[in-house]
Structure 1
Amino acid sequence: MSPKSRGRPAGRGKPKRKRLGPVRALLPADRMMSDARSIVQLADVLDVERWVSGWLGQAWVTAPLGEREPEHDLCMGVVGRACTKPSPHAVVAVAALRRVVPETEHTMLDETLAILAETQPMPAWIDTSGWTPVAAWRAVDVWESERVLFVEFDGPQPHTLMAQVDTVGGILVDRVGLLRAGAASLWDQFRDDDEVPMPLTAYPVEKVLAEFADALRCTDMTWPRQDDPDVVELRALAWARCRPYLPAGPDWEPLADAQRQRLVEDFVAAGGVPADGVTRSLADLFLDYGDGHITAGPLCWSPGAVELFLADWLPRKALLDAQQRAALPETLRGWLRFALNRRGVDAEWIEPVVAAVDEFAPDFEESFDTEATWGPAKQILAELSRRGVDLTDQEEVERAMSQLNAERLADRLRDD
């Protein structure tokens, strides 16, 4: 032991190591504020809006199920950091949000900008006017399973906003594009002669923007969230353009019984299928699916609608006896020809829909007998059928359901 250290407590004289707390994970607002440095010198306000729309999109697409206001939370985080550490890039981040977010956020952002303006320079585009929609077009395929919307805007940098909307099994925005002005005039050049007809038609601006907004609303209600990169990047910008035109929620009403009956009888009378109860029961099933799940209407079948019907909806929802199951493929082919002929679709574009029956029938056969794919309602009906319950007798079904529920409750109590 050194004479100098004799009697000295261990560790004395050595520099003490500073204990570091846990590293805080960067939040979306932290990352956005850091990235805002890259746009401080931007003069093009459309590029600024695209940048901030991308950050809002990331907040939206990464939010967990149940998180209802991820974009509001991002605004709150950015405002808090901007007020704590004012800087030119903080001003840019707040001002960019102000151009795109819903009106409910404007007061908070305006007040923050007023505070920052006392010490920080404002971006050159801060007072740049907004955008004016001047023309619109829509293209719809012959099956009404897909739409493409174009809206042209005038302003500091004229441009066109485009959306590709899928309506098979619901409404979903598949793609969003920010294109140069006049892009809609090139539509026919990008379509091949052998593609399904999808003519472009000029349409009132207000109606196309309302359709655009409704498609965004339906997409926002879909889980898991639509994660196409273009949709994520431009979703907030698109909402900013069309939010004022958002229509009231859809007021869906089922097909009237008299109309259903008339369609079934017209189908049977058209020939090509047996005029019996099996055919009528299957036609009722086709109408159930079409009325509830084909957005454009119960007769607007497409190859995609046939796929969802055979590979997903029918195995999950329906019980078929042996006669119905044997008659299903040919009856469905007949129904598709009947429905599309009634809508005036050319024969050339009816056959791809009919051919989808053969393509997806194996998926139906594989899934229909797999109980793991059945929905709750089908599981209950299957159990009642196994017990010999007449499913056409409402009173008998209700008695059997009461007994089944009592048995299940007793089983749960025993398990507990």
Structure 2
Amino acid sequence: MSTRKRTPRHPDSPARTTRDAQPPPETDLLDRIAGALEDDDPLSLLATASTLLAITDPRDHEQFADAAPGPDRDELVESFLAAPLPEISAVLAALACLSGDDVLRRRVHREIARRGHPLPDWLSGLARATAEPRAFEVTHTLRDGDNVLISVTLPGGHQLTAVVYIDHNMGTMVKDAFALSGSLEDVVGQLEAAAVADPDMTARPLDPADARARIGEAAELTAMTYPPIETDTWPSSRALVEWMTGLLPPGGTGYEVPEWSDEDLDDLTERFRASRFAEGTDGTGGLLALLMSFGTEQSLGDPMRWSPVAVEILLADWVPRTVVADVVFLAQLPDLLRAFIRFCHHERGVRAGLTEETLAAVDEYEAAYQQLIRSDRAQDPAGILEAMGVISDVDLAEIMLEDLAHAVGGEAALNELDADPLPDEPFAWETVPADVHGRVGEVLELVDRCCAELLDTEYRTACRRLLCDIATGDPAVFRRRGKATTAAAALCWLVGKANPLFDREAGTGPHLAVKHLTAHFGVSTGSVSQRSEALLRAVGADPHDVGGKDLGSARYLTGPQRARILTARDRLRERAGTPD
């Protein structure tokens, strides 16, 4: 934006060392301020002040070390304080109030009083502005973004209403925002009139405290984003919007992203597979998990929210840029996506016209997607980090190799790793203290029964080994009171996570939903998670890694899981240029 450029001082001009030595503001700026003052609408001057504050906002220059230096607010204020003109006094008053800086506001107030320049009543009393006790939110059925509407009343009765568009596809950030002269009722009435022609738009009351939280969090996230977001209205309106938002009551709730548990995703999977929309999608379980992963990781965290924009992000960016998989596998994604969109929109009651628009987006981006997944561009996190200059592909490969080594028990273990199936071996009672044999035996019986009914011999051996190592490493685990069923479920859960039993994208080996495992033992996932901490600590693993993805030894890994690690090891060593 051109407003971000500061007119450079001529190299031969003297340095400015005192307020009196500073030149007056440029003529075009003075004309703009004078025109705003002549306007009966306070918004003109407030918008000018907001733009000046946006140009000098330190958040745009200090957030990132490599960002270009920008104009300084203090320097701007000093130049205005050195120009005793009525127009400058007016804009100083607006700048000081919108800035939220109490020290600056008091200083400006003293200077204006010294000058004796008369100000409009609404401006001299701007600090007494009040927020309307209501707010509104205008949403669309597909939730690409929301408009949040708030309003303030200035001294004298003039009302301003801000419309803030929060884009969920961009990560729930402010994309556009502008203020209008008029009451909240008038603006909402205009939007409701427009909604008559658009049945997918809904205007509803929003708690003012929640409006403050939502706008504030979204604006803060936007300020942290690099490269910065710049539109016709943002960040030029940021100071005005943030001042208006700051007049609302605190204590509200921002956007709450729902957490989809494994059980929730399993239920969604089962509903889709049982529906008529899933016909012809057999064998795409891994791809379905990919779609759900995209949905739960993006913005509102909803795997059932599909719009044309979400489709574009998925096919044109997210999958080609972040997913490493076989081309034949990924090529099936558009067809599955069409089926899943139809299913999700049917369950949510989305209008047929919107479903057709969303499906049309799949048609539009499919050709480019098929080309991208067959291209040589980096299709993993390394490509992202390397493009950002944060880390090289070689460095990332070495870090990932270290993680693999830690997972199997060290670099030597990673070098010697094989993919042979775990043998059918008995429980090693000889290392377990005699006083806990009874409790350990109860857990062992439950674990063996689970493996016989739901899993296989390899899982039974892995679970037996882990149980033995826990009882040997910290027998006190079984000397304390606790249900054997919870301990058995936690142990099977840890082994399942390490292999991974619950990964829908995994190839060979048993697959099981977490809810089916916990249901077998008649326990809750929460109790399993809590019990897992002590079990992890007993074998020297991270007690906070209750997911159990890293048990620190290949002893507990099945053949298929070790085969996956071997494949990853060889690929990463090739990327890192590390000899075998």
With the length of structure 2 as denominator, give the TM-score of the two structures.
0.57
In the other structure, the counterpart of 1:171 is 172
Match of 1:309 among 310, 314, 318: 314
Aligned partner letter, 1:184: V
Name the residue aligned to 2:233.
Answer: 230
1:96 equivalent in alignment to 2:99: no
Q: Within 2, Cα distance between the matches of 1:227 and 1:21?
A: 31
Asked if 1 retains the 8 angstrom alpha-carbon contact of 2:138 and 2:147, the reply is yes
Q: CA deviation at 1:315?
A: 0.5
Are 1:135 and 2:134 an aligned pair? yes
Q: Secondary structure at the match of 1:159?
A: strand
252 and 191 in structure 1: CA distance in 2 versus 1, 3 angstrom threshold:
closer
1:148 alignment partner, SS class: strand
Secondary structure (helix, strand or coil) at the match of 1:230 reads: coil
Per the alignment, residue 191 of structure 2 pairs with 187
Shift of 1:119: 4.3
Q: 1:122 to 1:400 in 2, by over 3 A?
A: farther
Aligned partner of residue 231 in structure 1, secondary structure: coil
- Which of 311, 320, 333 is 2:325 aligned to? 320
The equivalent residue for 1:59 is 56
Aligned partner (choices 242, 247, 261) of residue 245 of structure 2: 242
Distance in 1, Cα, partners of 2:68 & 2:159: 30
Pairwise CA distance, 1:37: 6.6
Q: Distance in 2 between matches of 1:322 and 1:226?
A: 34
Give the Cα–Cα distance (whole angstroms) in 2 for the partners of residues 126 and 159 of structure 1. Answer: 17
CA distance in 1, matches of 2:140, 2:94: 37
Measure, in 1, the Cα distance between the counterparts of 2:15 and 2:51. Answer: 21
Residues 1:160 and 2:156 are matched in the alignment = no
Q: Tell me which residue corresponds to 2:513.
A: none
Unaligned runs of 5+ in 1: 1-19, 412-416
Q: Which moved more, 1:342-351 or 1:82-91?
A: 82-91
Matching residue of 2:119: 123
- 2:466 maps to none
Deviations 1:70-96 (A, max 9, x none): 999743123433555555444334321
Structure 1 letter corresponding to 2:114: E
Q: Does 1:75 align with 2:84?
A: no
Mapped to 2, the partners of 1:317 and 1:99 lie a distance apart of 45
Q: What is the alpha-carbon distance in structure 2 between the residues aligned to residue 252 and residue 25 of structure 1?
A: 53
| DSSP 3-state at the match of 1:333 | helix
> Which amino acid letter does the alignment assign opposite residue 100 of structure 1?
L
Q: 2: CA distance between counterparts of 1:348 and 1:301?
A: 13
Give the letter aligned to residue 56 of structure 1.
L
Counterpart check, 1:207 vs 2:210: yes
* Paired residues for 1:237-386 under 5 Å: 237-243=240-246, 245=250, 254-273=259-278, 278-295=283-300, 297-321=302-326, 323-377=328-382
Structure 2 residue aligned with 1:50: 47
Question: Alpha carbons of 1:315 and 1:246: their partners in 2 closer, same or farther (altered >3 Å)?
Answer: farther
Is the 8 Å Cα contact of residues 150 and 208 (structure 2) preserved in structure 1? yes
**C-alpha displacement of 1:334:** 1.2
List gaps (5 residues or longer) in structure 2.
Answer: 1-9, 17-21, 384-392, 402-417, 420-505, 508-559
C-alpha distance in structure 2 between counterparts of 1:142 and 1:348, whole Å? 12
CA distance, structure 1, for counterparts of residue 302 and residue 240 of structure 2: 30
AA paired with 2:369? F
| Aligned counterpart, 2:428 | none
For the structure 1 residues 25 and 266, does the alpha-carbon distance in structure 2 shift closer, same or farther, using more than 3 Å as the test?
Answer: farther
Q: 2:76 is matched by which residue type in structure 1?
A: V
Figure out how many residues of one structure are paired with residues of the other and give that number. Answer: 383
CA separation in 1, counterparts of 2:75 and 2:284? 61
Does the 8 Å CA contact 1:32/1:55 hold for their aligned counterparts? no
**Alpha-carbon deviation of 1:251?**
7.5
Q: Cα RMSD over matched residues?
A: 4.1
What's the counterpart of residue 110 of structure 2?
114
CA distance in 2, matches of 1:126, 1:283: 60
1:39 aligns with 2:33: yes
Question: Quick one: which amino acid aligns to residue 111 of structure 1?
Answer: R
Task: Give the number of the structure with larger relative contact order, counting CA–CA contacts within 8 Å between residues 6 or more apart.
Answer: 1
> Structure 1 residues 100, 253: closer, same or farther in 2, change over 3 A?
same
| SS in structure 1 of the partner of residue 117 of structure 2 | coil
Deviation at 1:226, TM superposition (A): 2.3
Cα 1:349–1:145 change in 2 (3 A) is same
SS at match of 2:150: strand
How far apart, CA to CA, are the structure 2 residues paired with 1:264 and 1:279? 11
Which residue of 2 is the match for residue 22 of structure 1? 12
Deviation at 1:321? 2.8
Q: CA separation in 2, counterparts of 1:30 and 1:359?
A: 56
Deviation at 1:152, TM superposition (A): 3.2
**How much has 1:184 moved relative to structure 2?**
1.5
The residue that corresponds to 1:144 in the other structure is 143
Question: What is the one-letter code of the residue matched to 1:22?
Answer: D
